Structure 1
Amino acid sequence: MAICNVGPYGHPSGKIGSLVFYILNGQPVCRTIGKPGKPSIKQLANQQAMSVTMELVKPMADFINVSFKLEAEGTVKNPHNLATSYIKKQALIGQYPDIKVDYSKVVLSQGSLEMAKDLKITKGKEGLNLSWNSDMEENAAADDILMVLVSHPTKKRASSYLNAARRSDGNCFLPLDKEWMINQQMEIYVCLKSSNEKSISDSVYVGNLNGAPESESEKAEKAHFMATKARFDVVEADYHKKRLELAEGLIESRAFRHLQKEYRVLRDKLDFLPGKPS
């Protein structure tokens, strides 16, 4: 049964058929219940996009609760909603079933505060060294607070430094207390917030450390290339051997013509096949 609080044409509350109506953050919401039908490719793509986004965002909760706090104030959205929306819309690449993150396009804050320039990151034995240009323009202050997020995608973890340094410091050290943190893929993001927490800068992607592991599709492409190359090496050796025999006066056979065709097909295929080692 559904309840209408503002008359027969108002917002219902409760269940009507396969629909459920309720209020979330002051807004009327409707969702379906029951078992859905077979999903379309578009639906599967949307599901994978959301899954990839949530896998990245979930470990960042401590950071985005601060970095998106100002933008979420006065709206029905929360910091998690904003981070999810920005990343899903702007930072995903590829097509289903191989959707992945373009880390350089990830947005973790948006604001008017001046961002530091000339950011540089290097890796030490026990952590990261971050430096930047501490010169200031009009929309900046020496005591602006540097926030740093280090994402560890292969471990589905993130390291948040909410008070890493002041703008005027020009550099800071970010300790990483586990060996895998130093040696695994790292994606680094930085933003600045004012000391009174009333303004924040756009986030900046500082870069990657340790590279990125191959995706499942890249592994499959490489394996297919190597298998094709191995077959080509066998066919090539046999083909050149048979050519020498023909040059010595042996009669060309149907078997040789099949071998020659396979040799040419494999040779041409390898020129365009993805997965070739760099």
Structure 2
Amino acid sequence: MGKLLSGISGGFTGKVGANIGYVLNGQNIVRALPHVNPNRSERQKANSQKMTVVNEFLHYMSPLIKVGFSIAARGTTKNYYNLAVSYNKKYALKGEYPDIEMDYPNVMISRGDLLPAINPVVEVVPEGLKFSWDQAHSNDSHRNNDQVVLLAYAPGSGKIRMIRYGAERSEGFETLYIIDDMLSEPVETYISFINDERTAVATSIYTGRIG
């Protein structure tokens, strides 16, 4: 049963007939309930698999995706996770149904206009993975305080290590500590930056496969 929010002419929350209402970013949203067609076309099956693949990839890194896409979601009717799914579903998949998979070099974990990492490099060190980047950047001195955002993902096991607010840009490096056998398999790596006011984020950069 749905609940009226502002009288008969207002929005509602919950299920009413074939629709569901909810509030997102202060706006009343109404959408149709999903309907599963047992006679789906190949195109529909492919789209369903794309959604499954992207959601399985993004689900366990939701705290990082929140950092990377929340700013872009402000003022829209979408949340950070919707935006991340939408982008990666469109640009970061490869293969044809039923063999669709993530295209890791094209994955985006953050999207914005902040200065990105310059010449980032990743290397294996005893503690885990050391990310480094050029400290030279624009003439805006306040960019020195931007904090690094890091991700390492092992597709084989699904293991994830991340840093949401790491070293400042001026430091030139940060270590992502890994204490298990995660590096015994190939690992996909990414880097980004967020400013200290949390009002701007850089578009992430794929820093390669380790192992």
Once the two structures are TM-superposed, the CA of residue 52 in structure 1 deviates from its matched residue by 0.7
Corresponding position of 1:154:
156
Q: In the superposition, relative to structure 1, how do residues 43 and 168 fare at CA in structure 2: closer, same or farther (>3 Å)?
A: same
2:57 counterpart of 1:77 = no
For 2:199 and 2:34, the matched residues in 1 are separated by 40
Greater relative contact order (Cα < 8 A, sep 6+) = 2
For 1:11 and 1:168, the matched residues in 2 are separated by 49
8 Å CA contact 2:67–2:110 kept in 1: the answer is no
Q: Deviations over 1:213-264 (max 9, x none)?
A: xxxxxxxxxxxxxxxxxxxxxxxxxxxxxxxxxxxxxxxxxxxxxxxxxxxx
Greater C-alpha radius of gyration: 1
Q: In the superposition, relative to structure 1, how do residues 49 and 170 fare at CA in structure 2: closer, same or farther (>3 Å)?
A: same
Q: In the superposition, relative to structure 1, how do residues 129 and 96 fare at CA in structure 2: closer, same or farther (>3 Å)?
A: same
Letter in 1 for 2:118: K
Letter in 1 for 2:108: V
Q: In the superposition, relative to structure 1, how do residues 186 and 32 fare at CA in structure 2: closer, same or farther (>3 Å)?
A: closer
SS at match of 1:108: coil
Equivalent residues, number: 204
Letter in 1 for 2:81: H
TM-score, normalized by length of structure 1? 0.67
For 2:20 and 2:166, the matched residues in 1 are separated by 44
Q: In the superposition, relative to structure 1, how do residues 118 and 37 fare at CA in structure 2: closer, same or farther (>3 Å)?
A: same
More helix by share: 1
For 1:162 and 1:12, the matched residues in 2 are separated by 33
2:180 counterpart of 1:178 = yes
Once the two structures are TM-superposed, the CA of residue 30 in structure 1 deviates from its matched residue by 1.3
Corresponding position of 1:120:
121
For 1:116 and 1:23, the matched residues in 2 are separated by 38
Corresponding position of 1:223:
none
Structure 1 unaligned regions, length at least 5: 211-278
Q: Deviations over 1:52-86 (max 9, x none)?
A: 10111011111111111211222222111111111
SS at match of 1:142: helix
RMSD: 2.5
For 2:203 and 2:158, the matched residues in 1 are separated by 24
TM-score, normalized by length of structure 2? 0.87
Q: Deviations over 1:75-123 (max 9, x none)?
A: 2221111111111011011110111111111111111111121111111
* Range moving further from structure 2, 35-44 or 193-202: 35-44
Letter in 1 for 2:99: D
* Range moving further from structure 2, 24-33 or 182-191: 24-33
SS at match of 2:56: helix
Letter in 2 for 1:58: H
